[in-house]
Amino acid sequence: MDLVGLLKELLFDYTLRTVALGAGTLGVVSGALGSYAVLRKQSLLGDATSHAALPGIALAFLLTGSKAPPILVLGAAAAGWIATLLMMSIVRTTRIKDDSALGMVLSVFFGFGLVLLTFIQKMPDASQAGLEKFLFGQAATTLERDVMTMIALSALVLVTMVAFWKEFKLLSFDPDFGASLGFPVRLLDVLLTTLIVVAIVLGLQTVGVVLMSAMVVAPAAAARQWTDRLGGMVGLAALFGALAGVSGAMISSSAARLPTGPTIVLCVSAIVLFSLLLAPNRGLLWNWVRHQRNRRRLQMAAVLADLYTLASQHETVEHAHSITVLRAMSAGRGGVEYSLKELAARGLVRQVSPADWALTPEGQEEAERLSK
Amino acid sequence: MPAIEVTDLTVAYQHRPVLWDVDLNVPPGVLMAIVGPNGAGKTTLIKAMLGLVRAAAGQVLIYGRPYAEQRRLVAYVPQRGSVDWDFPTNVLDVVMMGLYGTLGWIRRPGRREQARALEALGKVGMQSFADRQISQLSGGQQQRVFLARALVQDAQVYLMDEPFQGVDATTERAIVQLLQDLRAAGKTVVVVHHDLQTVPEYFDWVTLMNVRRIASGPVAEVFTQQNLRLAYGGRVAFLSRDGYAEEPAPTTDRAAESVAASGEG
């Protein structure tokens, strides 16, 4: 399908429009809130919270017998929230560290959720089918009504985040200092974590409990590569999340049997890969280029110094020397010929014969300047 | 009225006491070091004074009233290593955090706060670094940014946790000068310190700790060989200016006199 056709469908096709809008919204809110999770070294919080939401979904169904998304999402939110608070209090009151507390809570809740899910599937009633879609998400079943709920909740989350911008920044950077100023950091911690839980739960129907943590961590990690400001990071992460959500929804709709949730996660992973490699300053590619450039500059200086050493053993500076000698002097460094050509291009050396090179007067000055 | 008055302060982690029945009485306008071996509870003492760790018992009064009522009078400089310096923000932003308390909820820092933060950065010689990413700072520069964040609070009492840790000699001198300027302005400055050798030179008051308070008072009176032995368990190797001294030799005349006096008395 061509791009124009796809865009047209995005605007006019009800299902695709709904799915893309939902995925985009979840991308914005999980990207923005995920930034805080990443900066506070709670990247795995998303993983624990989303997995822990599963028993909540199952219990909500068992208690109400309803499969209406708002009810199931409410159950998910309650279980995710309880699990997250449990994790925080384990860390605070025992000697158990974050990662272990996280592992414990995640596995216990998720295991319980799977047990409940299996139990539900074995129930004689036929109406139970379809809960397992929360494992990997099923965007196609998203209704416009669901999307409206998502947008409203996302707006609430984002408004709260912006309102407490200064407080959340302080909490993320230096909570002890914040407490010394009189801010109730534990309360702020619970508030911020609650917002993150809401962001995660919003994505469960579309992306599923297993892959949702990627939507929390990946956009934020990618955004961190491009900016050194908190505002920039949060904004960019929201943008990346939206981009991944919408493009994932579009790609999966253009091909048969391509699940939306995993496609969205693949899209966001592509953004992360691109950012890791190509972002200015922090990108691996630019690091490599800088490294190479430095190496070459050092090599050139070394060859120039070698030539200068050789020249100083003769009466005239312009005495030519064989490249073999220079190669021997720079054993292990390599790139002698390349360096000579670069130096010649700058007028610091000249090629006397195919194998012989000599310093120019400028080259001599430069070598003397460098050796000082 | 004392600037800081601590009574019976006790803190325990998992039933192990880290601070035991500590009393402290710091008059206004002194520059005081808290020294003691590792695990002596120096950092915990500061954190307990600020209410950052829960005290099992005891109370802390700042100018005669509980700390919670006197927050505006106190500025805190945590250990440099307690935060992630790769956080996406710049120097000016970090210094402005010192004003978040007076700004209160929701309100954002504006032009006035920026001007005050720049002024504080000027006092630590970092004004030209205002726009610098904090990840690009050296250890000494990080420490000075933290000091500027405390200065901008314009407090009466400054509690600092190892401000000299990992800074070079030049920065250390600059920080000492700053602390002495604060004292000259009538502020009370309490510093967790590690280098015994510089105590008499930098500070006029000292508290020796080892879970309990060993001694507290003017350097000339309490920074004695006997108290150091009590705090450090008798194995203190003390390096004086003239080289390695067998006995802990006080490094200023004032302190020398006092040791002589206490020896005679």
Distance CA A279, CA A207 (A): 27
Q: Confirm or reject contact between B71 and chain A (CB < 8 A).
A: yes
Average pLDDT over residues A164-187: 94
Check CB contact under 8 Å for A181 and B149. no
Check CB contact under 8 Å for A173 and B94. yes
Contacts of B87 in chain A (CB under 8 A): 39, 172-173, 230
- How many other C-beta atoms can be found within 10 angstroms of the C-beta atom of residue B244? 9
Contacts of B88 in chain A (CB under 8 A): 39, 224, 227-230, 232-233
- pLDDT tens digits for range B193-232: 988 889 999 999 999 999 888 889 998 888 888 888 888 8
Task: Give one DSSP letter per residue of B89-125, joined into a string.
Answer: -BHHHHHHGGGHHHH-SSPPP-HHHHHHHHHHHHHTT
Q: Which residue in B84, B94, B108 is closest to A166 by CB distance? A: B108
The gap from C-alpha B39 to its chain's centroid, in whole angstroms, comes to 16
Which chain B residue has its CA at the smallest distance from A176's CA?
B52
Residue A170 is predicted with a pLDDT of 95
Average pLDDT over residues B234-260: 46
Whether the per-residue pLDDT at A193 is higher than 50: the answer is yes
Contacts of A183 in chain B (CB under 8 A): 100-101
Residues in contact with A232: Cβ distance below 8 Å, sequence separation at least 6, in sequence order = A223, A226, B88
Check CB contact under 8 Å for B52 and A173. no
Check CB contact under 8 Å for A182 and B101. yes
Whether the per-residue pLDDT at A160 is higher than 90: the answer is yes
Contacts of A191 in chain B (CB under 8 A): none
Q: Which residue in B84, B101, B135 is closest to A181 by CB distance? A: B101
- How many other C-beta atoms can be found within 10 angstroms of the C-beta atom of residue A48? 26
Q: Confirm or reject contact between B52 and chain A (CB < 8 A).
A: yes
Whether the per-residue pLDDT at A129 is higher than 70: the answer is no
Q: Confirm or reject contact between B50 and chain A (CB < 8 A).
A: yes
Residue B260 is predicted with a pLDDT of 40
- pLDDT tens digits for range B2-54: 899 999 999 988 778 888 999 999 999 999 999 988 888 899 999 999 989 88
Judge contact between A216 and A200, C-beta under 8 A.
yes
- Which structure tokens are listed for A362? 């400028």
- pLDDT tens digits for range B97-146: 999 988 888 888 889 899 999 999 999 999 999 999 999 999 899 999 99
Please, how many CA atoms are within 13 Å of residue B43, restricted to the half-sphere of its CB?
A: 14
